[in-house]
């Protein structure tokens, strides 16, 4: 970890300030509550390099993408999450000197994010022209009330001083990735409330030419302070309240800012200003301490279910808790209209939109740690957007439903052809989430109703996308991009062909068991089913019998094959050092591709097949996708490569904490954070789900003395612990489930343990 940051099991700690670390620290110190989030920006003015960011779930903008080489079927726009008004802003001056640590000498600096409580604290001692002052700040984004956040700010001079603090809302913000600093917001209303105890600001996204919704957001705050009110100012897109104190040396000026956010997604646009005023007059009067207590209690409840405890490796412990904290901060399952962006609410990269990452990596984690109801919201999200998936397929001249690679509303909004047109394997992840939910919960209700709607759309897409080779009678897919994005426009990507056939098979099996009324509603004819069966039976898969592997695509073995270890250090990472042309022509793999299929469909392949393919492909994999290490770690654990699994766990768990891919500055890798939990549960604990129940084949990583985690499984809460003696399972709540550990069938009634099995 960076030398200014400390490894701690429950905290992210920064012990010194370096301007070069500011964006990195802002990402690490981000806060959220599932409905909104903000980066770890300073409350007071900072003139140094910074990425100012406040993001509100479901609020986005369709940015222009039309270019001269436009092709039929291209998305009309690139959807992007947009920076919302600055809610936490303060302007602080001491004896007329504006506080700005980019310009003042820092004597002491300490900042910590407490993962258990979800509270960000900062202490610093600064030398100003008049003398030395101490500053303390603390803030949280409420996990108890999704519309609230609050901060406390204190200033203590070691000299007699005039302190002025201006608390403000600023809607005059722009995205860093916007063209020429263009603004995405129009300002509708602003004002002060209740004798200037608070203020509000209402902004609306600018009109766009794509017929997509315009969003209106109201921010409001109430100040609680013993400082004297001085004045207020209301400008276009800006409102501020000014407070002042005359202090003797050692005295403290303190101000609490209680903040509320409301949008027209939940309230009538015309009533947002009135709602903001009511908040200032009434709701905010609970005060900072009461709101903080409610917030920390909500976090304690989440950790009781989701925590993973590791003994013997503090860096591993910090990594998993850091990742779980940000996953739980990003998505709570309370709103089926929301999903999980690859950077969550910590930055602008990837547009803040929904990718296949949710179903492929995040879904099983929420299912096991947050419960069936939360996971089902993610399934509802895709079912609600099925109409958009049919639209996406029609744009390509194809039948059925093509789920988008990138979306806010179900319509594809990614404008890179090799992704939008070709990375169609994402359909398989949507279907696999339905399978995962059904097998894990044992409940087929969703599968045989709304799930069948989704599976039919996906099956019809695959049936229309393949073509039949008249010479061989086999079905193929040309012009695709597999999970390995370091190859585009290939023919017969093994994973894409395999997941397509599996989706067809899964649909037909589910359709056979559906109620007669549902079958009639879907209107599937026998001829259509016969065609699907033919595709499954006759799908072409590139293989090499001599090597004993599934070939990534038709011409992969024609490349100059070499190991990633043979690359020069100065060439890494490839995506920052090589031209795109050179990357595409190389053999190097960005992330699991064939191995992604062996992970998803692991129940269909034996250990030897997984080992042969792992041994061939992993050495060529550069892991330059954040989604890559976890899949490889899980497979490595299964085939007995324990040290490799632990090595890749650390890469997964500490990707952002250690800035391994040199890209944490622009936001955290939220969707890949789920990989650290998957490696522990599915890799080290060897957890697998079958229709008969849960099974485990655990081992204890070298250097660890124990690890434990809880599962919400079919209405039961189970605690799993592995230590140097062996494994112990405890039933915390619910009925006794059937399980299997090291090939021994058990019924877990209270507690069960077994000594460690070697080998």
Question: Catalytic site residue 123?
Answer: no
pLDDT value at residue 73: 77
- Between CA 669 and CA 676, with CA 670 as vertex, the angle to 5 degrees is 90
Mean pLDDT of the chain: 95
Residue 450 has pLDDT above 80, yes or no: yes
Residue 691 has pLDDT above 60, yes or no: yes
Torsional sign, CA 477, 482, 487, 488: positive
Tell me whether domains 5-278 and 304-313+324-684 share a fold: no
Q: Angle formed by the axes of helices 670-678 and 628-638, to 10°?
A: 10
Kind of pairing between the strands at 198-205 and 185-193: antiparallel
Secondary structure (H, E, C), 491-505: CCCHHHHHHHHHHHH
Residue 178 has pLDDT above 90, yes or no: no
Give the burial string for 281-302 (b: 16+ CB within 10 Å, else e). eebbeeebeebbeebbebbeeb
CA-closest candidate to residue 11, choices 120, 173, 89, 147: 120
What is the Cα–Cα distance from 45 to 42, expressed in whole angstroms?
A: 7
CATH number of 5-278: 2.70.98.40
Residue 65 has pLDDT above 70, yes or no: no
CATH number of 304-313+324-684: 1.50.10.10
pLDDT band at 162 (very low <50, low <70, confident <90, very high): very high
Residue 436: alpha-carbon gap to chain centroid: 19
User: Where does residue 624 rank: exposed (0-12), middle (13-18), buried (19+ CB within 10 A)?
Assistant: buried
pLDDT value at residue 34: 95
Sequence-distant (6+) residues with CB within 8 A of 483 are 423, 425, 495, 591, 592, 593, 596
CA distances from 572 to 564, 567, 623, 632, 658 (A): 10, 8, 11, 19, 16
Please write the tens of the pLDDT for every residue from 77-124.
888 899 999 999 999 999 999 999 999 999 999 999 999 999 999 999
pLDDT value at residue 180: 64
Sheet holding 693-696, edge to edge: 688-690, 693-696, 738-741, 744-747
Q: Residue 314: what are its φ and ψ, rounded to 5°?
A: -65, -35
- All structural domains of the chain with their residue ranges: 5-278, 304-313+324-684
Bridge partners (DSSP) of residue 552 are: none
pLDDT band at 476 (very low <50, low <70, confident <90, very high): very high
CA distances from 411 to 212, 355, 408, 461 (A): 11, 12, 7, 16
Bridge partners (DSSP) of residue 202 are: 189, 218
pLDDT band at 69 (very low <50, low <70, confident <90, very high): low
Residue pointed to by tokens 């958009």: 388
Q: What is the mean pLDDT of residues 384-406?
A: 96
pLDDT band at 66 (very low <50, low <70, confident <90, very high): low
pLDDT value at residue 486: 97
Q: What is the mean pLDDT of residues 333-358?
A: 89
Residue 67 has pLDDT above 70, yes or no: no
pTM of the model: 0.96
| From 359, 450, 485, 638, the catalytic residue | 485
Q: What is the mean pLDDT of residues 206-218?
A: 91
pLDDT value at residue 195: 85
Q: What is the DSSP letter of 30?
A: -
What is the Cα–Cα distance from 229 to 223, expressed in whole angstroms?
A: 10
Torsional sign, CA 549, 552, 557, 562: negative
pLDDT value at residue 421: 83
pLDDT band at 759 (very low <50, low <70, confident <90, very high): low
Whether the ω angle into residue 140 lies within 30 degrees of 0, i.e. cis, is no
Q: What is the mean pLDDT of residues 691-700?
A: 91
What is the Cα–Cα distance from 747 to 731, expressed in whole angstroms?
A: 10
What is the Cα–Cα distance from 224 to 361, expressed in whole angstroms?
A: 43
Residue 499 has pLDDT above 80, yes or no: yes
């Amino acid at each position: 970890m960076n030398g200014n940051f400390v490894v701690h099991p429950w905290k992210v700690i920064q012990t010194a300030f370096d301007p070069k670390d500011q964006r990195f620290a802002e990402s690490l110190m981000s806060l959220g509550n599932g409905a909104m989030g903000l980066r770890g920006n300073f409350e007071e003015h900072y003139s140094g390099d910074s990425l100012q960011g406040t993001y509100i779930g479901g609020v986005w903008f369709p940015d222009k993408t039309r270019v001269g080489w436009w092709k039929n079927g291209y998305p009309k726009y690139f959807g992007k999450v947009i920076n919302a008004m600055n809610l936490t802003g303060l302007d602080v001056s001491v004896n007329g000197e504006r506080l700005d640590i980019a310009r003042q000498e820092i004597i002491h600096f300490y900042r910590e994010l407490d993962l258990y409580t979800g509270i960000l604290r900062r202490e610093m001692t600064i030398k100003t022209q008049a003398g030395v002052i101490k500053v303390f700040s603390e803030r949280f984004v409420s996990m108890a009330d999704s519309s609230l956040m609050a901060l406390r700010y204190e200033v203590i001079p070691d000299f007699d001083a005039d302190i002025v603090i201006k608390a403000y809302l600023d809607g005059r913000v722009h995205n860093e990735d916007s063209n020429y600093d263009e603004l995405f917001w129009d300002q509708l209303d602003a004002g002060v409330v209740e004798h200037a105890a608070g203020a509000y600001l209402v902004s609306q996204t600018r009109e766009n030419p794509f017929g997509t919704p315009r969003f209106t957001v109201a921010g409001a705050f109430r100040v609680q302070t013993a400082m004297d009110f001085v004045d207020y100012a209301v400008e276009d897109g800006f409102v501020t309240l000014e407070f002042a104190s005359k202090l003797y040396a050692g005295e403290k000026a303190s101000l609490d800012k209680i903040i509320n956010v409301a949008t027209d997604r939940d309230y009538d646009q015309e009533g947002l200003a009135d709602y903001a005023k009511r908040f200032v007059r009434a709701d905010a009067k609970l005060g900072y301490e009461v709101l903080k207590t409610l917030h920390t209690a909500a976090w304690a409840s989440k950790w009781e279910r989701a925590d993973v405890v590791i003994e013997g490796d503090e860096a591993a412990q910090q990594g998993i808790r850091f990742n779980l904290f940000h996953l739980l901060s990003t998505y709570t399952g309370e709103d089926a209209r929301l999903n999980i962006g690859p950077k969550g609410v910590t930055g602008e990269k990837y547009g803040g939109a929904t990718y296949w990452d949710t179903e492929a990596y995040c879904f099983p984690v929420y299912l096991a740690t947050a419960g069936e109801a939360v996971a089902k919201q993610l399934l509802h999200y895709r079912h609600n957007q099925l109409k958009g998936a049919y639209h996406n397929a029609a744009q390509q001249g194809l039948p059925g439903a093509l789920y988008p690679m990138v979306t806010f509303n179900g319509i594809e909004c990614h404008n890179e052809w090799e992704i939008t047109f070709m990375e169609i394997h994402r359909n398989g992840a949507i279907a696999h989430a339905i399978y995962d939910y059904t097998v894990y919960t044992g409940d087929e209700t969703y599968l045989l109703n709304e799930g069948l709607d989704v599976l039919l759309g996906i099956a019809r897409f695959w049936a229309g996308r393949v073509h039949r080779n008249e010479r061989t009678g086999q079905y193929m897919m040309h012009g695709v991009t597999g999970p390995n994005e370091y190859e585009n426009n290939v023919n017969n990507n093994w994973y894409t062909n395999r997941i397509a056939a599996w989706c067809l098979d899964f649909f037909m099996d589910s359709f056979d068991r559906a109620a007669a009324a549902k079958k009639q509603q879907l209107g599937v004819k026998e001829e259509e089913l016969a065609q699907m069966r033919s595709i499954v039976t006759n799908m072409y898969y590139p293989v090499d019998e001599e090597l004993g592997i599934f070939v990534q695509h038709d011409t992969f073995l024609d490349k100059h094959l070499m190991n990633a270890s043979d690359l020069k250090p100065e060439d890494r990472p490839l995506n920052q050092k090589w031209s795109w042309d050179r990357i595409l022509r190389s053999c190097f793999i960005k992330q699991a591709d064939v191995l992604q299929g062996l992970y998803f469909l692991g129940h269909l392949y034996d250990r030897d097949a997984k080992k042969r393919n792992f041994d061939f492909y992993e050495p060529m994999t550069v892991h330059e996708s954040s989604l890559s290490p976890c899949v490889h770690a899980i497979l490595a654990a299964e085939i007995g490569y324990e040290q490799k699994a632990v090595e890749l766990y650390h890469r997964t768990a500490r990707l952002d904490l250690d800035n391994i891919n040199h890209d944490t500055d622009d936001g955290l890798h939220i969707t890949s954070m789920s990989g650290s939990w998957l490696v522990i549960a599915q890799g080290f604990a060897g957890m697998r789900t079958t229709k008969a129940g849960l099974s485990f084949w655990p081992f204890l990583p070298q250097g660890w003395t124990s690890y434990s985690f809880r599962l919400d499984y079919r209405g039961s809460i189970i605690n799993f612990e592995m230590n140097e003696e062996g494994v112990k399972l405890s039933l915390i709540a619910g009925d006794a489930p059937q399980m299997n550990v090291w090939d021994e069938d058990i019924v877990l009634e209270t507690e069960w343990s077994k000594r460690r099995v070697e080998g």
